[in-house]
Structure 1
Amino acid sequence: MRVKIHDETATGRVIGALELDVSGPVRLRELIRLRVREEVARFNARPVERFHGLVRPTAAEADLNGYLMPVPARIDWEQQADAAVTAFGRNAFFVLVGDRQVEDLDEELTLDEASRVAFVRLVQLVGG
C-alpha cells in the first residue's frame, strides 16, 4: 500500500511530500529507514547540488533549501538511516500519525492509504 509522508514546519505548513510502499504494521524505526532509503535512492538516481532529505549527509552543508552538496556524490542510505534514527533520539524531528505524536522508535504503527503521517523538523534557535 502507498502511504503519503509529509514534511511540515512546526506551524503545520507542508514543505514536502513523499509516497512510500508500506506493507502491514511497521515500527516507527522502520518507517524512518524506509523514508530515508527512498529519498537517498531518488537522489542517487539523479544527483544534484542540493539534497532534500530528513538529515544532512556528512559531506553536505546546511542550506535554506536543503543540504548543499559541494560535489554531487552517491549517498549511503544505511548511513543516512542510522543518522536519522539517532536524530530522532536527539529530538531533531518528531513524527505525527494522525493527530498523535509517536515517541517510541519501536512502536508498531498500523497505517493505511488514508493515514496522515508528518515529519516535523525542529530548527535550533540562534543562541539557544
Structure 2
Amino acid sequence: MATVTFVDESTAGARTPAWALQIFEERLTLRELIRRRIHQEVAEYNAATPAPRRLLVQPTSTERVLNGGREQGERRRVDAARQVALAEEAFGRNGFVVLVGDRQVEELDEEVDLRRDTEVTFLKLVALVGG
C-alpha cells in the first residue's frame, strides 16, 4: 500500500498544504490517480460544512451561482464525474502538469509507480503577462 501525498503549486509561487491518500495498487495510470484524487476531494467537499477550499478543479460557475444563494447546509453537490472530465481537459490543454516524485508525467494513460511515500505535485501553469 502506498501513501500518496498531493501538493498543489502554481508557477506564481502559491503552494497549498499537502494532504495524503492511501492507494492499494503499486502502479496506476495518471488518469486513474487524478480520478481518485478528485473523487476523494468531491466526497469531502460535498460532506463538509463549510466547504473545504482544496479542490483540483473548482466548482463550475453554474455550480457556484447555484450554491451562492443557499444556506451553508443546503449547497448543491459537486459532480465528481464532471470534475474529472474538466481536469482531464485542463491537463490536455496544459492547464497543469503533474510531477510524480521528480518525474513529469506527460500522458494521462502513462502508468506511474507508487511507493510508500510518493509525492504527486500538480503544478498549475500561470500565463505570463504580455506573453
TM score, norm. by length of structure 2? 0.79
1:105-116 to 2 correspondences below 5 Å = 105-116=108-119
When residues 74 and 116 of structure 1 are mapped into structure 2, their CA distance, relative to the original with a 3 A threshold, is same
Q: Deviations over 1:93-113 (max 9, x none)?
A: 110011111101011111112
Aligned match of 1:89 in 88, 92, 95? 92
Which of the pair has the greater relative contact order for Cα pairs under 8 Å at 6+ separation? 2
SS of equivalent residue, structure 2 residue 44: helix
Percent of matched pairs sharing the same residue:
45
SS of equivalent residue, structure 1 residue 4: strand
1:1-128 to 2 correspondences below 5 Å = 1=1, 2-10=3-11, 14-24=15-25, 25-48=27-50, 51-58=53-60, 59-60=63-64, 70=68, 71=70, 72-125=75-128
When residues 22 and 119 of structure 1 are mapped into structure 2, their CA distance, relative to the original with a 3 A threshold, is same
Show structure 2 runs of 5+ residues with no match.
none
Separation in 1, partners of 2:32, 2:78 = 19
SS of equivalent residue, structure 1 residue 78: helix
Q: Which has the larger radius of gyration?
A: 2
When residues 49 and 37 of structure 1 are mapped into structure 2, their CA distance, relative to the original with a 3 A threshold, is closer
Q: How far off is 1:23 after superposition?
A: 2.1
When residues 29 and 51 of structure 1 are mapped into structure 2, their CA distance, relative to the original with a 3 A threshold, is same
Separation in 2, partners of 1:92, 1:47 = 29
Richer in helix (by share): 2
Show structure 1 runs of 5+ residues with no match.
62-68
Q: Given that residues 45 and 52 in structure 2 are in contact (C-alpha distance below 8 angstroms), is that contact kept between their aligned partners in structure 1?
A: no
SS of equivalent residue, structure 2 residue 32: helix
Query: What value does the CA root-mean-square deviation take over the aligned residues?
Result: 2.3
